[in-house]
Amino acid sequence: MSAEPLEIYLEEQDLGRSLRDDVRTGLTARPKWLPPKWFYDARGSELFEEITRLPEYYPTRAERSVLQRRAGEIAELTGAKTLIELGSGSSEKTRLLLDAFTRRGGLGTFVPLDVSVSALRQSTAQIATDYPGLRVRGIVGDFTRHLDRLPTGGRRLVIFLGGTIGNLLPAERAGFLAAMRASLEPGDWLLIGTDLVKDPSIVVPAYDDAAGVTAEFNRNVLRVVNRELGADFDPEAFAHVALWDPEREWIEMRLRAERPVRARVLDLDVEFAAGEELRTEVSAKFRPEGIAAELVAAGFTAREFWTDADGLFGVTLARA
Ligand code: AVJ
C-alpha cells in the first residue's frame, strides 16, 4: 500500500502564527528563550539525524538496543492494532517495532505524527513501501496540541521515543501526560523513551560534540526565524552552549551572543548584550522512580521498565 495523503493539522498560516507568537514571547522575555520545536525545518531535521549518528550522542543507540531486545515482548504484551508515534521524525527505530508486529501479525495501521512535513513525507513513503499491507497515515501536527486528532478504536499503542518528552518543562510534562491519558481508552498502551540521569561527563559531550553538528543544529533556529519571519539574525554571531543543570537534572542548550547583536524581527528591535544567552532547549534526564511516579500521577499503570546494558536510557511501557 502507498502511504495515505498526510493529514495536516498544522497549516502554513497556523505554523506562521505560532512561530510569531513564540518569537514575540520568547525574545521579549528575560532571559530570552525559544521553544525547541522550531529547530526542525528540513535542514534541522537532517542535522538531528546527523546528531543521532555522532559518537558522543548515545541516546539513539542506547534506545535502539533496548527496542532491539524488547520489541517482540512489546508486540506480545500490547497486542496493538494501531501504532501511533508522536514526534516521529524519521521513524528509524520504530522499524524494530514494526518488524516485531509484522512477525506477530495483527497490526493494521501506523500513524506517525510530527511537526516536520519533510520528515513525514519521507518516512511515510518508505515505511509504506517496506511494510506492504500496513496502512500508513501520517499526521502533521504538534503533540502538545493535537492529541484529540489521533485515530480511535482498536487497541492502540502510542510511542514517544528518543527522550523527546524531556523537551517539556515539568508542568508541561504533567499536562501532556494527563492529556495523553485522557485521549486513551482503558487497555491502550503508552511506550515512552527517557534519557536517564548520569554523570555530566557523558551527557554534556552528547550535546556539545567535537564535530560541531549540535552547534549548527542549535543555530538553525535562527535561520528558521530569519527565513520564516524575514528577520536578520547573524547566526555566526552566536556560540553554542550546552549546560548541565544539576538541580533540575536537565541539559540546557543556549546560544550566546559573542558581541552585541541587534536584529529586526517582526516589529521588534531585539538586542543582545555581549555574552547574553538565548535558551533554545531543555532536555530533561530522568530517574526510574520519577518516571513511574509521573505516569501514575497521570493515571497510567507502569508495567515494564527496561534499560540498555550500560543503563544510559530507559524505556517504559505503561497501560492506560
Ligand atoms: C530529539 C529532543 C530527543 O533532547 O536529545 C539533540 C534533541 N538536542 N541534540 C534531545 C537534541 C540536541 C533531542 N530530542
Instruction: Enter the ipTM.
Output: 0.99
| Residue 11 pLDDT greater than 80, yes or no | no
Q: Assess contact for 71 and 80: CB atoms under 8 A.
A: no
Q: pTM of the full predicted structure?
A: 0.95
Contacts of 163 (CB under 8 A, 6+ apart): 59, 63, 193, 194, 195, 283, 313
Is 162 near ligand 1, meaning CB less than 6 Å away? yes
| Residue 10 pLDDT greater than 80, yes or no | no
Q: Say whether 207 counts as a known binding-site residue.
A: yes
The closest of 52, 22, 33, 59 to 214, measured between CA atoms, is: 52
For ligand 1, the distance from its centroid to the CA atom of residue 306, given in whole angstroms, is: 20
pLDDT band at residue 57 using 50, 70 and 90 as cut-offs: very high
pLDDT band at residue 58 using 50, 70 and 90 as cut-offs: very high
Q: For residue range 226-281, what is the model confidence (pLDDT) as tens digits?
A: 999 999 999 999 999 999 999 999 999 999 999 999 999 999 999 999 999 999 99
pLDDT band at residue 16 using 50, 70 and 90 as cut-offs: confident
Measured CA to CA, the distance from residue 200 to residue 140 in angstroms comes to 35
| Residue 94 pLDDT greater than 80, yes or no | yes
| Residue 13 pLDDT greater than 90, yes or no | no
Q: Which of 173, 283, 285 most suits a substitution to test ligand 1, by most atoms within 8 Å of the C-beta?
A: 283
Contacts of 17 (CB under 8 A, 6+ apart): none
What angle (nearest 5°) sits at the alpha carbon of residue 201, between those of residues 195 and 204?
60
Measured CA to CA, the distance from residue 153 to residue 268 in angstroms comes to 47
What is the pLDDT, as a whole number, of residue 36? 96
Tell me the C-alpha to C-alpha distance, in Å, between residue 210 and each of 43, 56, 95, 214, 240. 20, 8, 29, 9, 12
Which ligand 1 atom is nearest residue 89's CA? Answer: 1
| Residue 14 pLDDT greater than 90, yes or no | no
Is 59 near ligand 1, meaning CB less than 6 Å away? yes
Q: Say whether 167 counts as a known binding-site residue.
A: yes
| Residue 81 pLDDT greater than 90, yes or no | yes
Give start and end residues of each alpha helix (H) in 38-78: 42-51, 58-78
| Residue 115 pLDDT greater than 90, yes or no | no
Measured CA to CA, the distance from residue 309 to residue 168 in angstroms comes to 27
For ligand 1, the distance from its centroid to the CA atom of residue 251, given in whole angstroms, is: 10
Question: What residue owns the CA closest to ligand 1's atom 10?
Answer: 283
What is the pLDDT, as a whole number, of residue 62? 98
Is 167 near ligand 1, meaning CB less than 6 Å away? yes
What is the pLDDT, as a whole number, of residue 8? 85
List the beta bridge partners of residue 277.
Answer: 256
Q: Kind and range of the H or E element at 118?
A: helix 117-130
Which ligand 1 atom is nearest residue 163's CA? Answer: 3
Q: Say whether 90 counts as a known binding-site residue.
A: no
Biggest alpha carbon–alpha carbon distance for the chain: 60
Locate cell 547566526: which residue? Answer: 235
Q: Any idea how long the chain is?
A: 320
| Residue 190 pLDDT greater than 90, yes or no | yes
Measured CA to CA, the distance from residue 177 to residue 305 in angstroms comes to 17
Q: Assess contact for 293 and 304: CB atoms under 8 A.
A: no
Average pLDDT over residues 147-172: 95
Contacts of 161 (CB under 8 A, 6+ apart): 63, 85, 87, 93, 94, 191, 192, 193
Q: What is the mean pLDDT of the chain?
A: 96
The closest of 156, 187, 173, 158 to 319, measured between CA atoms, is: 187
Tell me the C-alpha to C-alpha distance, in Å, between residue 14 and each of 23, 115, 129, 140. 14, 12, 31, 12
Measured CA to CA, the distance from residue 82 to residue 153 in angstroms comes to 9
For ligand 1, the distance from its centroid to the CA atom of residue 225, given in whole angstroms, is: 19
Average pLDDT over residues 90-94: 93
| Residue 132 pLDDT greater than 90, yes or no | yes
Question: What residue owns the CA closest to ligand 1's atom 3?
Answer: 164
Q: Say whether 282 counts as a known binding-site residue.
A: yes
Question: What residue owns the CA closest to ligand 1's atom 8?
Answer: 207
Measured CA to CA, the distance from residue 97 to residue 158 in angstroms comes to 12
